[in-house]
Amino acid sequence: MHGANAALITDSPATGPVTVELIVNEAAVVCDHAGVLWLPGSGALVVSDLHLEKGAAFARRGMLLPPYDTAATLARLAKAIARYNPRLVISLGDSFHDRTGSAHLPECYREQLQSLQQGRDWVWIEGNHDPDRPVGLEGSFCSELHVESLVFRHEPTSGAADGEIAGHLHPAARVVRRGKGVRRPCFASDGKRLLMPAFGSTTGGLELRHPAMRGLFNKSELVAHLIGRERIYSVAFNRMNG
């Protein structure tokens, strides 16, 4: 395993999607190109900011979005679960786009989620969009969860928080090379804390230089693991331009 400033990138078709192996607060974690985090020591799979039923939430407010976000997000989630067969799934908050999303979830999607939950533990972390326990779905519900030397919560705490795995900010990074800029969602870690990319199909992102990120990382150790089309690209924060 390597620290956050020396990530190991694997790119072998025989082993599936590209992964980056990190140590965060002495715990081994694997960032997967699919946008999920795998904890090999505890058999836990982590996803963040699914924002299920975002299109439906907008429609209830009179703003129309294509109604396909939930289907696309669940299809990608099913692939990740099939790949790792986790003992535990941690959904790191904002699993639904608003607090009534789970109650209004169409039955076909509810059945998909129930099928994914079978045979494993499932923890819903409280989010700012969905502060209540999901309706009609199995699983525990809590504000934070401790696994190994890590603590999982939706919103990152200000200042130092060793072992914190959080979502909420939808981290993204922009890299400029030879005059061309590329902006992609990313995992962001300095070896002490890790921010998860948003998993939902219609989610945006905040760049690591955004004021909301201030004070969360040791910038000299911060690495962005950008999710490209076919692999993860690991770039030290102090090497980013623009």
**DSSP conformation letters of 21-81:** EEEETTEEEEEETTS-EEETTTTEEEE----BTHHHHHHHTT----TTHHHHHHHHHHHHH
* Ordered domains of the chain (ranges, CATH): 8-239 (3.60.21)
Residue-level pLDDT at 104: 87
Is the pLDDT at 7 greater than 80, yes or no?
no
Is the pTM higher than 0.85? The answer reads yes
Is the pLDDT at 70 greater than 70, yes or no?
yes
Q: Per-residue pLDDT tens for 89-142?
A: 999 998 887 778 788 899 999 999 999 999 999 999 999 888 889 999 999 999
User: Half-sphere exposure of 186 toward its Cβ, with a 13 Å CA cutoff?
Assistant: 24
Q: Per-residue pLDDT tens for 193-218?
A: 999 999 987 787 899 999 999 999 99
Residue-level pLDDT at 103: 87
Q: Per-residue pLDDT tens for 214-236?
A: 999 999 999 999 998 888 999 99
The label of the residue with tokens 């076909």 reads 108
Rg (CA), the chain: 17
- Cβ atoms < 10 Å from Cβ of 160: 11
What φ, ψ does residue 117 adopt, rounded to 5°? -80, -20
C-alpha angle 145/205/173, rounded to 5°? 100
